[in-house]
Amino acid sequence: MTAPTIVYDLDGTLADTAGDLMGALNFVLGREGLPALPVDNARSLLGAGGRALIERGFAACGRELSPETLEPLFGDFLAHYNAHIAVHTRLYPGVPAALDAFEAAGWAQAVCTNKMEASAKMLIGKLGVAERFAFVCGQDTFQVGKPDPKPLIGTIEASGGALSRAIMIGDSATDIRTARAVGIPVICVDFGYTDAPIETFAPDRVISHFDALETAVAEVMGDL
C-alpha cells in the first residue's frame, strides 16, 4: 500500500523565517530610499513568495512598483536573502520531534513552499532537516506557486504518494486554498504568517504547537 504523505509549508509553518525575509526586504527598500518595515509586519506581508513580498512592502510604504522594476529588485532581494538565509531563522519548537515521529511511522514527508526551490533547499539544509524530505517544491519547481493546485499535486506524486493518503500542514489561507483545490485535508498552525486568525479560513484542525500534530493528523486522517 502507498505510504501516507505529509506535505509541509515552510515559512511560518516549519520555520520562523520572518527576521531574515524582512531583512532582505528592508535591504531592497533601503536601496530605494524607503523606510524599513518592522518584523511585526511579516504576518500580513509574507506567504506568497519574494516578488509578492516586495510588492506588498512597497505598497506598505505608499509607493507604486512597476512590473519592469520588480524583476531587478527581486534579483537583489534573492541574492541578499540567500546570503543571510539562516541568521535569525529557526525551526519552531517541536518540529524535529514531529519529523522524527512521522518518519518512524513510515510517512513520506515533503515541503511545498512559495520560496524559490534553491532557497528552500538551502534553508532546510542549514536547519539540519534536509534528509527528512522526499521532495522539496518551490514556487519555480512547476513554474507556478500556491494556491494553484499543481505544486501540491506534483509534490505528492514526486514523493511517491497518493492524493487519497495525503495531508497538508500550513499556516495561511494560501495553504488552505491549495489543499482544498487538490481535495486533501489541511491542518494549520496558529503562529504563522496570516493577517487574520487562521480559524477564519476553516482548516480541518488548528494546532498551537507541533507536539499536537500527531494527534491532529490521526483525527483528520483516521486509521491509515
The CATH-assigned architecture of domain 5-16+89-221 is 3-Layer(aba) Sandwich (3.40)
pLDDT for the residue 101: 97
Catalytic residue among 9, 11, 20, 204: 9
C-alpha cell at 215: 494527534
Q: What tens digit of pLDDT does each residue of 94-112 get?
A: 999 999 999 999 999 999 9
Average pLDDT over residues 10-14: 96
pLDDT for the residue 181: 98
C-alpha cell at 220: 483528520
Domains of the chain: which residue ranges?
5-16+89-221, 18-83
CATH fold of the domain at 18-83: DNA polymerase; domain 1 (1.10.150)
- 1 band by pLDDT with thresholds 50, 70 and 90: confident
Q: What dihedral angle (degrees, nearest 10) is formed by the CA atoms of 23, 26, 28, 31?
A: -130
Residue type, 79: A
63 neighbors 34 (Cβ within 8 angstroms): yes
C-alpha cell at 203: 482548516
Catalytic residue check, 9: yes
Strands 15-16 and 90-91: antiparallel
Average pLDDT over residues 131-146: 96
- Assign 205 to helix, strand or coil: strand
- 223 band by pLDDT with thresholds 50, 70 and 90: low
**pLDDT(224) > 60:** no
Average pLDDT over residues 109-124: 96
pLDDT for the residue 8: 98
Average pLDDT over residues 115-122: 95
pLDDT for the residue 41: 80
C-alpha cell at 8: 509541509
Residue type, 60: A
Mean pLDDT of all residues in the chain?
Answer: 94
**pLDDT(170) > 60:** yes
At which residue does the C-alpha cell 512592502 appear? Answer: 57
C-alpha cell at 211: 507536539
167 neighbors 156 (Cβ within 8 angstroms): no
Question: How many angstroms separate the CA atoms of 57 and 177, rounded?
Answer: 23
C-alpha cell at 32: 530605494
Number of other residues whose CB lies within 10 A of the CB of residue 126: 12
Radius of gyration of the chain (CA): 17
Identify the weakest region by mean pLDDT among 39-48, 83-92, 98-107, 177-186.
39-48
Ordered strands of the 205-207 beta sheet: 135-137, 108-112, 5-8, 166-170, 186-189, 205-207
* Element (DSSP H or E) covering residue 124: helix 117-126
pLDDT for the residue 202: 96
